[in-house]
Amino acid sequence: MAEKEYIERNGLLEWTREFYPEEKVFASAVINAPTADVQEVRHAEWVLQENKHPEAVCSNCGREVVYQIVNNRWEFENYCPHCGAKMDKE
């Protein structure tokens, strides 16, 4: 299944008014279109704590987590269990 994409309503309205300034029906359709229940994705990274191995801190919320051992290596989760931030920031 393809990943869904969402458009910011105000951004689309600004674009409509810039490229189609006389088009009122399209702007009205954008204003009255149904909304989706989505949550903004927060991006963060794990910050290693000096002298506190195996702990790291989420760069978004500042909460500490303990690494997990997977296949004899320390590994991080790909999201923060406290704030839900996606750990893909570099």
In a domain, 1, yes or no: no
Q: Within 13 Å, how many C-alpha atoms sit on residue 79's CB side?
A: 8
pLDDT in the model for residue 72: 75
31 and 61, same domain (yes or no): no
12 and 27, same domain (yes or no): yes
Determine contact, residues 45/62, Cβ cutoff 8 Å: no
pLDDT in the model for residue 52: 66
In a domain, 3, yes or no: no
pLDDT in the model for residue 62: 93
Domain of residue 32 covers: 8-38
Taking alpha carbons only, the member of 43, 69, 71, 73 closest to residue 58 is 43
Q: Using one digit for the tens of pLDDT, what is the confidence trace for 9-66?
A: 899 999 988 988 888 888 888 889 888 888 888 999 988 877 766 788 999 999 988 7
In a domain, 2, yes or no: no
49 and 26, same domain (yes or no): no
45 and 78, same domain (yes or no): yes
Choice between 68 and 64, residue whose per-residue pLDDT is larger: 64
User: Rounded to an integer, what distance in angstroms lies between the CA atom of residue 55 and that of residue 8?
Assistant: 37
Q: In which region does residue 52 sit, left (phi positive, over 0), alpha (psi from -120 to 50) or beta (all else)? A: alpha
pTM, two decimals, is 0.58
17 and 53, same domain (yes or no): no
71 and 32, same domain (yes or no): no
In a domain, 17, yes or no: yes
